[in-house]
Amino acid sequence: MKDVAAAAGVGLKTVSRVVNGESGVTPEMAARVRAAIEALGFRRNDSARLLRTGRTASVALLLEDISDPFSSALSRAVEQVAATEGCLLFTGSSAEDPARERELALAFCARRVDGLIVVPAGDDHRYLLPEIESGTPVVFLDRPGAGIDADAVLSDNAGGAKAGTAHLIAHGHRRIGFVGDQPTIHTAAERARGYRAAMAEAGLPVDERWIDCGPTDRARVAAAVHRLTTGPDAVTALFTANNRVTLAALHHLPADRRPALVGFDDLELADLLTPGLTVVAQDPVALGALAARRLFDRLFDRLAGEDAAPARLEIPTVLVPRGSGETPPGEG
């Protein structure tokens, strides 16, 4: 910019004005500046501009793993809202590792992103308190933050699991297995709660052995599914409480010896399986968009009165019957 000013024989401020399209520059002066810009191949350094301005026009989205379809759908939705607000988007994956989550979150904050959306991996987010106090809005997504009173945008996990379980009950099942993620994970706990609520509401007893929570690797899920679906006490239906569990269960149980099955979270091609896979579908686009809107509302102080308090916002789920969840107990 200094070079451009020198080449055009004008002051720095005049170059700045031309670059920013501000009014109050004689046409001939502007032309001279533009010629110099062209000749020198000048492009404004936005990082420098933003340093002076105080904002960085960027937000960060911290995910569990961006290659996961759920995460990438969240990303797209957040990106779209950010673009509307003139912001670029940083993304990062914690790989479900609390230390990495923290490291990345603080790295984003050190860059002074204008806001941060976090899909939490850890169970203690107090490290973000100084950031929030110093004015960086933080919104938690998919799971609430821990030890911290901040906005959270979540699926109606309990409601969805309850609806899915009730659907199996409505098709005649009484003995229903629940295979889920580690109970320390908020979504897993909520979904188990929904399962229990549906059983209780139908007046059905729950044998604790029907509930199998833990890591979602293939081997563990296969073992759980095998245990639940064999022997004299076998369940007649299965509620698989997340994507990876559902996938592992489908692989372990060939279609011809599969109990009724409802999964939490939709899968591409789910409708082309035989039978089609019945799921409780989340709406990642709505989740991501709402989280982003909330973030910008906070950033631009658009929240007034009681809206301004940290809130937990829920997005409903939708039950999509496709065949696997409508099989009566006998056929299993």
Report the interface residues with DNA, using CB under 7 A: 1-2, 9-14, 16-17, 19-20, 23-26, 29, 43-45, 48-49, 51-54
254: left (phi over 0), alpha (psi -120 to 50) or beta: beta
- Closer to DNA by CB, 49 or 76: give it: 49
Judged by beta carbon distances under 5 to 8 A according to partner kind, the member of a second copy, DNA, none in contact with residue 170 is none
Least CB distance from residue 56 to a second copy, whole Å? 6
**For the chain, how long is the longest CA-to-CA vector?**
91
**Minimum separation from the CB atom of position 82 to DNA (A):** 21
- Give the nearer residue to DNA in terms of CB position, either 40 or 247: 40
Q: Please state, in angstroms and rounded to a whole number, the distance separating the CA atoms of residues 262 and 258.
A: 11
Nearer to DNA, 29 or 286 (CB): 29
20 contacts which partner out of DNA, a second copy, none, CB within 5 to 8 A by kind? DNA
3: number of Cβ within 10 Å: 13
Q: What sign does the CA torsion over 112, 118, 123, 125 have?
A: positive
Picked from DNA, a second copy, none, the partner binding residue 274 (CB below 5 to 8 A depending on kind) is a second copy
Interatomic CA distance for residues 177 and 206, integer angstroms: 9
Selection from DNA, a second copy, none that 13 binds (CB < 5 to 8 A by kind) is: DNA
Residue keyed to tokens 């035989």: 274
Which tokens is 140 given? 């938690």
Distance CA 58, CA 238 (A): 43
312 makes contact, choosing from DNA, a second copy, none, with CB < 5 to 8 Å by partner type, with: none
CB of 132 to DNA, least distance (A): 18
- Name the residue nearer to a second copy (CB basis): 110 or 304: 110
Using CB under 8 A, list all residues that contact a second copy.
41, 43-48, 50-51, 56, 58, 65-69, 71-73, 75-76, 79, 88-93, 106-112, 130-131, 133-134, 247, 250-251, 255, 267-274
Please say which residue, 65 or 156, places its beta carbon nearer to a second copy: 65
Q: Which is nearer to DNA, 54 or 254 (CB)?
A: 54
User: Do 210 and 177 touch, CB atoms closer than 8 A?
Assistant: yes
Closer residue to DNA in complex, CB, 52/257: 52
**Can you read off the two tokens belonging to residue 278?**
């019945």
Nearer to DNA, 55 or 220 (CB): 55
Residue 281 binding target from a second copy, DNA, none, CB below 5 to 8 Å by type? none
Element housing 154 (H / E): strand 151-155
Partner from DNA, a second copy, none binding residue 193, C-beta < 5-8 Å depending on class: none
Read off φ and ψ for residue 228, nearest 5 degrees: -70, -30
* Nearest distance from C-beta of residue 78 to DNA, angstroms: 26
251 binds, among a second copy, DNA, none (CB under 5 to 8 A by kind): a second copy
Closest distance between DNA and the C-beta of residue 113, in Å?
14
Residue 280 gets the label, from left (phi > 0), alpha (psi -120 to 50) or beta, of beta
| Residue 296 token pair | 């910008």
C-beta of 303: minimal distance to DNA in Å?
24
Residue 240, strand partner residues: 179, 263
Contact 255, 195 (CB under 8 A): no
- Work out the burial of residue 26: count CB atoms within 10 Å of its CB; fewer than 13 is exposed, 13-18 middle, 19 or more buried: exposed
